[in-house]
Amino acid sequence: MSYDYLLEYLKSLKSINPDSDFLSRSRNLILNQPKRPAYVFHVRNQFLNVFKFSLAIGLSLIMFLSLSGKLFPKNNIFVASLNNKNLIKESLKADINIQLAEVKYYKETSAQVTWALSEIINNENNAAITRLLKEKARENDENP
């Protein structure tokens, strides 16, 4: 089926119309119904407008107070995370602390490592001498 043919099909539905008797009956019934007085809508709309305005002001105030830190305590993580300067300070401080800790660690560990290595070497030497002496003693025993 082509697009044009389909459109023709659809256009044929334009002939659907309401019954004229029904229309005039319905029209009379509707227009004779009492309409809600305009002031009801006016009062309601005014109330809605005032409500919307108050809501907007209230939310803005809450946002302002929370950002200024007056609504929440200063140690609040959320508020602290919004302060860029503090964040930068904290990050720099953290970096220095990490570096100092590393220096301290290497300083302490290097001495320990040196001592441990010398111990290992000494132990190795002692073990080698002992082993050599034992071998010599066995050779002497075998060839007196």
Q: Which residues bind another protein (CB under 8 A)?
A: 1, 3, 6-7, 9-20, 22-23, 26-27, 29-33, 35-36, 38, 40-42
User: In angstroms, what is the minimal distance from the CB of 60 to another protein?
Assistant: 24
Shortest separation between residue 7's beta carbon and another protein, angstroms? 6
- Please say which residue, 4 or 142, places its beta carbon nearer to another protein: 4
Amino acid at 22: F
Contact 89, 83 (CB under 8 A): no
User: What's the gap between Cα 110 and its chain centre?
Assistant: 41
State both tokens at 46: 């005014």
Q: Which is nearer to another protein, 40 or 96 (CB)?
A: 40
For residue 96, the minimal CB distance to another protein (Å) is 53
Round to whole Å and give the CA distance between 62 and 56.
10
Q: Using alpha carbons, list the distances in angstroms from residue 111 to 30, 100, 103, 115, 122.
A: 100, 17, 13, 6, 17
CB of 27 to another protein, least distance (A): 6
- Please identify, using beta-carbon distances, which residue of 13 and 103 lies nearer to another protein: 13
